[in-house]
Amino acid sequence: MTTEPLRIGTRDSILATWQARYVREILLENGWPAELHYIKTEGDRVLDTPLPLMGGKGVFTKALDDALLSGGIDLAVHSFKDIPTRMPDGLKVGAVSRREDVSDVFVSRESASGGAACRQKSGNNRPSFPDDPEYRGVVASSSNRRIGQWLARYPNFRVRDIRGNIQTRLRKVAESDWDGAIFAAAGLKRLGLQHHIAWKIDWMLPAPAQGAMAVMVRSEDERIKDAVLPVDDPDTSLCTGIERDVLHTLEGGCSAPVGAFAEIRGRKVHLKVNTVYPDGSGLIAFEMSEDREKAGDLGRRAADEALGRGADTLIRDLREGRNSPGAL
């Protein structure tokens, strides 16, 4: 039995590092010392291109997949929502962590710099700008899903692209003349930056697997698969698996405007799905539930339901470069 520490591959952003350290703690508690290996991905290097234009698939994961396959690292820790639904040959998800807050939140120009002073009382998710459909505001996001859902609700907003790690994005918002930007609550909370949240966007559906971490391992590496098992939360694994099945069946990449959120309520799994054009038109939204024991194909069935309701046209239009229905 060797005593070499396990090698955990991670991106070098502070969120990625926090997540890799979280996994390292659990491994250590279970008798597996481990060290972090920092690896830059295309998504870290190329910061001047909007995410949906970067070819989507695996911009935050490919360099870590390659390091796993070549044996340079033993496991890789990711935000699960950044992992393409099509797994590279030879790799698999070995564990899915319990979820942080899954919601998307609004960081206003004021809360990006000031924080707590402008924070609203919890339970009050009222917008930080005039809640008037005529209001012509500006919101920043590089996610088609967030932009589409936002414009479906606030069609008079203009949209700005925003890239970079969490601190960079907070700084950009603070220095901007925008109303604010949309962030994942999970990232801000993990880093103790929740005081920058102005309000929770409680009507927005998160990305499939948002708020969960996933540990990637080599499919054949029994030793590492055993080591990472204590990180796994079976309920989160079930729910995020269903959400990712929706995206996979719709054949949307990680930049597809697909929201999906599954949660366990008693004996049932309850799933919410929506799809929308990035210009805010053509919103399709519905819910389905199924007994836990029979929920194995809930994600696929929900995707079929979405296709029947018109998501087939959306997927075709986006693949052919049309961002709104009928636009040629």
Ligand X SMILES: NCc1[nH]cc(CCC(=O)O)c1CC(=O)O
Least CB distance to ligand X at residue 138 (A) = 18
Judged by CB under 6 A, does residue 204 bind ligand X? no
- Please pick, from the candidates 10, 85, 210, 237, the single residue that binds ligand X as defined by CB under 6 A: 210
Nearer to ligand X, 247 or 307 (CB): 247
Judge whether 24 and 227 are in contact, CB under 8 Å: no
Nearer to ligand X, 44 or 305 (CB): 44
Query: Where do runs of H (alpha helix) occur along 196-282?
Result: 222-228, 234-249
Annotated catalytic, 82? yes
Q: Is 186 in the site for ligand X (CB under 6 A)?
A: yes
Q: In DSSP terms, which residues pair with 273 in a beta bridge?
A: 260, 286
- Taking CB under 6 A as the criterion, the residue among 9, 211, 253, 278 binding ligand X is 211
By CB under 6 A, residue 187 contacts ligand X: yes
- Longest C-alpha distance within the chain, in Å? 68
- Residue 295 CB, shortest distance to ligand X, in Å, is 22
Which positions ≥6 away from 90 have C-beta within 8 Å?
A: 69, 218, 219, 220
Residues 6+ apart with CB under 8 A from 287: 270, 271, 272, 273
Applying CB under 6 A, the span of 115-123, 180-188, 214-222, 289-297 interacting with ligand X comes to 180-188
For the chain, list the strands marked E by DSSP: 6-10, 34-38, 75-79, 91-96, 104-108, 138-140, 158-160, 180-184, 199-200, 213-218, 258-265, 268-275, 284-291
180 binds ligand X (CB under 6 A): no
List 82, 101, 279, 317, catalytic entry: 82
Q: What is the dihedral of CA 100, 110, 166, 147, to 10 degrees?
A: 80
Distance in Å, CB of 210 to ligand X, minimum: 4
Residue range at the interface with ligand X (CB under 6 A); choices 34-42, 184-192, 273-281, 298-306: 184-192
Segment 69-98, which members bind ligand X (CB under 6 A)? 79, 81-82
Contact footprint for ligand X (CB under 6 A): 79, 81-82, 183-184, 186-187, 210-211
Active-site residue set: 82
